[in-house]
């Protein structure tokens, strides 16, 4: 497997599926179960704690996502599926609003305009000083002009 976290998540899902009731497990297609068994991590060691609920288990974030998809697609009935889809859509909208607020391009440009305003204001006591070329630099520049011709 290319992604170690993904294969570790498949291992956790395989362990969880051992404790799922047979009628719920029968709803999951054989292809999906064989994919989980074939691609799970061989080195990952994780045991489910039967005394704690599944929510309190030390699950990887990818495991939680995959379990949600498995439950939504194969295990729950139509009413539960509608409720779950509604919750997932609401969470996605909240996340998109958060990201839009955090990375809003209008706010980025507003901050840049403020910094430009501060740098463009001239200082009240500042005077413009004329650059005067020294006598030696004038002679050197004349000599350079002669040689360039």
In tens, the pLDDT along 124-147 reads 666 777 777 788 888 888 888 888
DSSP the chain: ---HHHHHHHHHHHHHHTTS-HHHHTTS-HHHHHHHHHHS-SS------TTS-GGGS---HHHHHHHHHHIIIIIS-HHHHHHHHHHHHHHHHHHHHHHHHHT-HHHHHHHHHHHHHHHHSPPTT---------HHHHHHHHHHHHHH-
**Cα–Cα distance between 25 and 11 in angstroms, integer?**
16
pTM of the model: 0.62
pLDDT of residue 111: 58
pLDDT of residue 96: 92
**Between 125 and 52, where is the model more confident?**
52
In tens, the pLDDT along 79-123 reads 988 998 999 999 999 999 998 888 877 776 665 555 545 555 555
Percent of the chain residues topping a pLDDT of 70: 85
**Could you tell me the pLDDT band of residue 1, with boundaries at 50, 70 and 90?**
very low
pLDDT at 24 over 70: yes
- Residue 148 has a CB neighbour count (10 Å cut-off) of 6
**Cα–Cα distance between 55 and 48 in angstroms, integer?**
11
pLDDT at 28 over 50: yes
């Amino acid at each position: 497997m290319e992604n170690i976290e993904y294969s570790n998540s498949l291992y956790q899902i395989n362990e969880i599926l051992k404790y799922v009731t047979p009628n719920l497990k029968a709803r999951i297609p054989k292809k999906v179960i064989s994919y989980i068994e074939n691609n799970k991590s061989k080195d990952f060691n994780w045991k489910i704690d039967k005394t704690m609920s599944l929510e309190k288990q030390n699950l990887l974030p990818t495991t939680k996502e995959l379990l949600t998809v498995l439950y939504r697609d194969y295990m729950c009935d139509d009413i539960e599926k509608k409720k779950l889809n509604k919750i997932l859509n609401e969470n996605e909208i909240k996340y998109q609003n958060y990201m839009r607020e955090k990375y809003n391009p209008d706010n980025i440009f507003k901050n840049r305009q403020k910094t430009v305003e501060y740098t463009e204001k001239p200082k009240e006591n500042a005077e413009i000083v004329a650059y005067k070329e020294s006598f030696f630099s004038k002679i050197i520049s004349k000599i350079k002009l002669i040689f360039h011709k």
